[in-house]
Amino acid sequence: MVFSSLEFIYLFLPPVLFGFYVLRALRLESAIIWWLILASVVFYAWWSPPHLLLLFGSVMFNYGVHRLLLRHRSKALFVGGVVVNLGLLAVFKYADFLIGNVNAVANLEMTELGLILPLAISFYTFQQISFLHDTWAARVKPCDFKRYVLFVTFSPQLIAGPIVMQRDTIPQFRLAVFTNRTILNLVLGSTLFFIGLFKKIVLADGVAPVANAAFGLADQGQMLPMTASWLGAVAYTFQIYFDFSGYCDMALGLARIFGIRLPINFNSPYKARSIVEFWHRWHISLSRFLRDYLYIPLGGNRTGILGRHGNLMATMLLGGLWHGAGWNFVLWGALHGSYLIANHVWSASTIGARVRKAVPGFVYSTLSWGLTMIAVIVAWVFFRAETLQGSLIMLQSMVGLSAAASAGWLDMIPNAQMVPPMLAAMLVVVVWLPNGLELTVHYRPVLSAARELVGTRTAWSRIRWSPTPAWSVAIAVVGSMSLIQIYRLNDLTEFIYFNF
């Protein structure tokens, strides 16, 4: 089940909300928590009931280790818990990738396991590793079982994040939060949900056929005209932006309906003027996890210049692998690691300082933004292509090495003549308009200070939402357009991050 499906909107959400409001009217805190757990179980089981055993096996194991660590703060116990978690993730997500590569290198014929990747295993594994670390480091107080289960399985963030820490949500699972500001939570949550639904159904799914057509031909080994390859790459750049941004807004909105604030996870990354800033804005919870539990333990920036660069590269390589078991994801991580190293070298160099002083501020900012976007688009090619050959063909086509280009690819796309203006309009949206969090910043949509929700300063960026009749009509129109589009779609697409 996905947030953007009619089953979720019409069959799942209404009874869940009805039960929640009945229980909160009776002021039954424990019953509310168990009700939300039950709803989350049904939500997850809709995809694959057998994998509930894996999810709850993981929950039971980690809660048991948590209780033991409270009694015996043993590093060996903590490391053992982390090894089991990573081992489970490795078996289901990376075993076949490893077997395939060993077969290729050693000319063997080992049989692959053929296991289905459990939905959300990357997210709930990292989330529970952080919980064990905080327990071992004495940063978490004893937590009862029901709150721990809800911390892991809470449906708005279970499938594709954000990767929440125990300090983010567990303290909120209490009656005072569930019963606070009911009308505002419902209105604000619904607003964020429908903004996210529009991003997913109308924008992301609307541009997806362009990316699918271009990358589909490249993965088949066919060269593309230079213009076509760039249109395909840019189309995917906007598809994944609105897909992930839409999911994040919908997750925040659904959680807020129940009174819960989730941490910020997405903050207009295409407004970034450097790769460092991009990673402060894209998948923020994953960046935070990798920084706190990988980069800093490796030594961070305390190991000298070479050590710092090595730590950055190792962190981004593992970040790439976290997204998927494939060489394309490794190369995507390596590219971003190289980008970050280059960014830090430039920022620390005297040449960089002189250029910044010599070039007018607006010109420097614009050039920095343009270079950052080109770097991001090129990296997305590896992220989207299903084969290494396909990614290389796309890159060759993008630099004009496409003498034997496949003609007529736009025939695969309805209303192909509208593709360039559609992409141009999306560029305006992501660069100049406020995002959903900036729009609702006065009502604290996330566990974040308002100062973090800053983007490009334009006249449009000053627009702010408030619970007024005019805004209600506007959001109703946005929601209606999204629902109409859902009815028109033949095949409902999952969120891209459901694959990770």
CB 482 within 8 A of CB 196: no
Cα–Cα distance measured from residue 325 to residue 423, given in angstroms and rounded to the nearest whole number: 30
Residue 426, H or E segment? helix 419-432
Closest C-alpha to 55, from 121, 113, 134: 121
CB 376 within 8 A of CB 278: yes
**Residue 81, helix vs strand vs coil:** helix
Q: Quote the tokens at residue 243.
A: 């897909």
Catalytic residue among 66, 133, 323, 336: 323
Could you tell me which residues come within 8 angstroms of residue 348 by beta carbon, excluding any fewer than 6 positions away?
none
Cα–Cα distance measured from residue 331 to residue 380, given in angstroms and rounded to the nearest whole number: 10
Where does residue 110 rank: exposed (0-12), middle (13-18), buried (19+ CB within 10 A)?
A: exposed
Closest C-alpha to 461, from 267, 277, 252: 267
Residue 305, H or E segment? helix 304-323
Annotated catalytic, 336? no
Cα–Cα distance measured from residue 294 to residue 300, given in angstroms and rounded to the nearest whole number: 9
CB 464 within 8 A of CB 181: no
| Catalytic center residues | 323
